[in-house]
Amino acid sequence: MTDLPATMTAIAIQAPGGPEVLQPVIRPVPQPGPGEVLIRVGAAGVNRPDVLQRIGVYPPPPGASDLPGLEIAGEIVALGAGVNSALMGARTCALVSGGGYAEYCLAPAGSCLPLPEALSMAEGAALPETLFTVWHNLFERAFVKEGDSVLVHGGTSGIGTMAISLCKLFDIKVFVTCGSDDKCASALALGADAAIDYSAEDFAARVADLTGGRGVDAVLDMVGGDYLPRNLACLADDGRHVSIAFQRGAKAEVNIVDIMRRRLTLTGSTLRARDYEFKALLADEIYANVWPHVIEGRLKPVMDRTFPLAEASAAHARMEAGAHVGKIVLLVG
């Protein structure tokens, strides 16, 4: 274990509210428990769940840090009991259950991935949350494979841009929705096969046109609400619908007969509250199937903008404004 300070600067949520409630605080440097590592944070990703936690509708799971931040990159500086000593001093990126907006953060050793020298800390911090989410939901829950087609909402979000990148790597046709012509142009430039401006046209009708009436094999949905029946209309027979958020509401009305007749599958997941063992297995799958592409430079996160840790409120304001394309990241180290 290297010499570590007793305290650190972190960004805490002072009370539920707007970006201004994100304020710097001094906290004790946490100590790793069994199976954990302590990471000196170089950068931390900003994600929609951080915003939801800040406004008071997405509390951290039991045992997690109350500090926001679900993905980090940095250097491992201390090891808990049972952790391989070879990890000491390693550059890493990690999926965490909270605590990322800080100078030091704990992570389960099994949720850490080695950060290639070719990637910056900011790029490393932009990978885990979206990569784990998209891989699990599109590839493990929707079972997409080479030659399939998918519809992804929020095409220029962190999730959307990662979905485009992964689909291109694995020869999957990807259609996305965006909220403006400019964002559609950005999605097309990133490799989307089609980008649909949901503010100007019916995305379900456009998907039908794009697929010759067949529909797509899977929909990755972060919108929910009244999008759900329209998403189901986009699916081919035996299609899979995966919900990962519900920005337009948690309830929807669907035609059960249509689900039965066309053998549709509706599923979904949340990642933050899953146990360490599950996340370690998911990390192993990603390391085996995706990480070679990261190492060889074929997969990089789409970066929007970086902010110093002290300007976390400005980073949240940018995310909520909806103008970003790709990932927003806080620079810590």
Domains and CATH numbers, the chain: 7-127+272-331 (3.90.180.10), 130-268 (3.40.50.720)
Nearest to 76 by CA among 67, 65, 63, 85: 85
Q: Which residue is it, tokens 């992804």? A: 152
Both tokens of 142, joined, read 């929707």
Residue 1: the pLDDT is: 52
Total residue length of the chain: 333
Q: Specify whether the CB–CB gap between 221 and 228 falls below 8 A.
A: yes
CA gap 182, 104 in Å, rounded: 38
Q: List, in order, residues 6 or more apart from 137 with CB less than 8 Å away.
A: 220, 242, 244, 268, 269
Check: pTM over 0.75? Answer yes or no.
Answer: yes
Nearest to 106 by CA among 83, 86, 85: 83
CA gap 247, 90 in Å, rounded: 38
CA gap 300, 172 in Å, rounded: 18
CA gap 105, 109 in Å, rounded: 12
Query: In terms of DSSP bridges, do strands 216-221 and 149-152 run parallel, antiparallel, or are they unpaired?
Result: parallel
- Residue 71 forms beta bridges with which residues? 95
CA gap 261, 202 in Å, rounded: 24
Residue 258: the pLDDT is: 96
Phi, psi for 231 (deg, rounded to 5): -60, -45
| Helices (H) then strands (E): counts for the chain | 11, 15
CA dihedral defined by 146, 94, 18, 152, rounded to 10 degrees?
0
CA gap 77, 39 in Å, rounded: 6
CA gap 220, 40 in Å, rounded: 34
- DSSP string across 139-188: IIIS---TT-EEEESSTTSHHHHHHHHHHHHTT-EEEEEESSHHHHHHHH
CA gap 276, 97 in Å, rounded: 10
Both tokens of 270, joined, read 């949340």
CA gap 198, 221 in Å, rounded: 14
Q: Specify whether the CB–CB gap between 38 and 106 falls below 8 A.
A: yes
Instruction: Flag residues of the chain having pLDDT under 50.
Output: none
